[in-house]
Amino acid sequence: MRLPVMPPVQPMLAKSMAKIPPADSIDGGLVYEPKWDGFRAIVFRDGDDVQIGSRSTKPLTRYFPEVVEAVKAKLPERCVIDGEIVVPVDGHLDFDSLTQRIHPADSRVRMLSEASPASLVVFDLLALDEDFMDRPFDERRAALEATISPAKPGAGADVHLTQVTYDAAEAEQWFHAFEGAGLDGIVAKARAGRYVQNGRTMLKIKHARTADVVVAGFRLHKNSTSGRPLLGSMLLGLYASDGRLQHVGVCASFPEARRAALVEELAPLVVDFEDHPWGEWQSEEAQASGRLPGGQSRWTGKKDLSFTPLAPTRVAEVGYEHMEGRGEMARFRHTAQFKRWRDDRDATSCRYDQLEEVARYDLDDVLR
């Protein structure tokens, strides 16, 4: 492989904003794009040689053979592209299906690539036969539009060019509507900006919500000692309609002094596993199910995920962006943010039905 821009490349990043900024808020103006919920991917193609790098520059190529073939069919012979790998399922982005692709068995990867093919959504051009990274975004976008033909709806694995708008009001409409197709928010880019590796030069606007959850356990922090125990994260639950307390995620990111105080504050609630709703999850069957806070995963390897069970009586308000999964199997997509204790709430009232229902939106109207 010999390209004007060679791997590895660290993708350009974004800093968070509370709301969509006006298009004329910076010199040269802003352009807006949907924020895709997938795996960031830098794609390098030199003829039949295709490499896909992750946000951290780790190789993704072997996990997405159908995307490699789509790149060969749709992208220029020599190019470097910034984009996102997504998996559409039933008209909605499915992050769970995407994460299943990171698997050591090639046979399983191949099977999943046929059962639920991934696609590549492209949104920036780093190189063709020459380096484009120092060119303004408007020029890079124009070159992208000239080189990528429209995708075919229902064609399986494909390459899609993300939509853009120069109208902040339309971006606001996208922000609310596109969430129903599984998208993550809006990204704003400087029209005159160059491509800056690992630089937070873009802006991202994501959904922000709160929920009241049961604090059903905690894990100790990696710096915790027997002489000074420190809370690392709280394990959160919501009650399903059948009365089960379902594990929905964690909240973390406390100052060290607060971590120590929380261990002391929660000590009276510590119970034996036999007296805890998740006590039965110590079995091998439960470990294999992946729906418990002490289970291993392909992401954590042999990391110790044991936790201290708490009587499920304490309620906390947490902030979150969105859920992944559907119905009463949904969980927080990212680590939640602790807001405050809700001692006025009965823990059994913390149910899934408090969560906001997002109106469905047809993904085909977003993918082009």
Please name the residues in contact with 120: beta carbons below 8 A apart, sequence gap of 6 or more.
Answer: 41, 43, 67, 70, 71, 81, 83, 84, 85, 86, 158, 159, 160
pLDDT, tens digit, 9 for 90 and up, residues 59-85: 999 999 999 999 999 999 999 999 999
Count Cβ atoms within 10 A of the Cβ of residue 325 and give its class: 0-12 exposed, 13-18 middle, 19 or more buried. Answer: middle
Split at pLDDT 50, 70, 90, the class of 149 is: confident
**Active site annotation includes 35:** yes
Average pLDDT over every residue of 21-47: 97
Place of tokens 């103006």: 29
Higher pLDDT, 27 or 326: 27
Split at pLDDT 50, 70, 90, the class of 153 is: low
For the cut 70, the answer to whether the pLDDT of residue 305 exceeds it is no
**Which of 19, 35, 58, 152 is the catalytic position?**
35
pLDDT, tens digit, 9 for 90 and up, residues 280-292: 765 555 545 545 5
**Residue-range domains of the chain with CATH:** 13-206 (3.30.470.30), 209-354 (2.40.50.140)
Cβ pair 11, 42 in contact under 8 A: yes
Task: Please state which of the ranges 106-115, 178-187, 319-328 shows the lowest mean pLDDT.
Answer: 319-328
pLDDT, tens digit, 9 for 90 and up, residues 178-226: 999 989 899 999 999 999 999 999 999 998 889 999 999 999 999 999 9
Average pLDDT over every residue of 250-254: 92
pTM: 0.80
